Amino acid sequence: MIYFNQNKQAYAFVIADPLCVIEENVWKEYSSLQQGVEYDIDETGIIDLRDTPEYEQEQAQKERQRLNLLNLTKADVLLALYQDKGLTPDNIKAMLKDNVPALIKFDYASSYYRGDDVVNALGLALGYSTEEMDYLFENKKFPEKTVEPVEPADTDSDSDTDGDSDSDADTDTDVETDNEESEVTE
């Protein structure tokens, strides 16, 4: 058993007037976590704070801060844009020509931070989502494009009596084309 005093300190032996007492296996789960952030202790035992909306919001803010501090060299960004969309530095400069501060940052920066407003604006202007831009700064490339599977066309059995109307149409066209070509060459 683990005993907690009124100051929420844990003891592996019996203490006088404990705040609460918990099983040792329960304490092992929480002992590596941060008290007051991920768990708390009261007279009923341990309270897991990780499932609260406040904790989730705080974690999302920390993750956004981490992502915003990621940076890439100018060469990494330009190479990724060229590989993904075929854009050259001149193409990007042409896009930014009316935004002088953005153009200056683009031209003279040696690296770009994910959280920079110009990076966000350029990403949006090029059609990238926040998630795709985050991926770029974590992986030095944009995510692979997923190709949606094409569903086969619905064939209507009433209009196709022999089950091979498409190939018949192609054959007829080919024959007509062959005839036309023969007439032209004769």
CA nearest neighbour of 43 among 23, 21, 15: 21
Q: What is the pLDDT of residue 113?
A: 94
Q: Is 81 exposed, middle or buried (0-12, 13-18, 19+ CB in 10 A)?
A: buried
* Residue at 103: amino acid letter: L
Residue 86 has which token pair?
A: 């075929």
Q: What are the φ and ψ backbone dihedral angles of 45, each rounded to 5 degrees? A: 130, -145
Helices 117-125 and 89-96 cross at an angle (nearest 10°) of 100
Tokens 């949606």 map to which residue? 148
Mean pLDDT by 10 residues, the chain (186 residues): 83 85 83 78 84 88 95 95 94 89 89 91 90 95 82 61 50 45 40
pTM of the model: 0.59
Q: Residue 179 half-sphere exposure, CB side, CA atoms within 13 Å?
A: 6
The Cα 163–Cα 154 span in angstroms is 13
Q: Which of 147, 168, 144, 166 is nearest to 155 (CA)?
A: 166
Domain limits of the chain?
2-51, 67-139
Contacts of 74 (CB under 8 A, 6+ apart): 109, 110, 111, 112
Q: Please tell me whether residue 10 adopts helix, strand or coil conformation.
A: strand
Contacts of 111 (CB under 8 A, 6+ apart): 71, 72, 73, 74
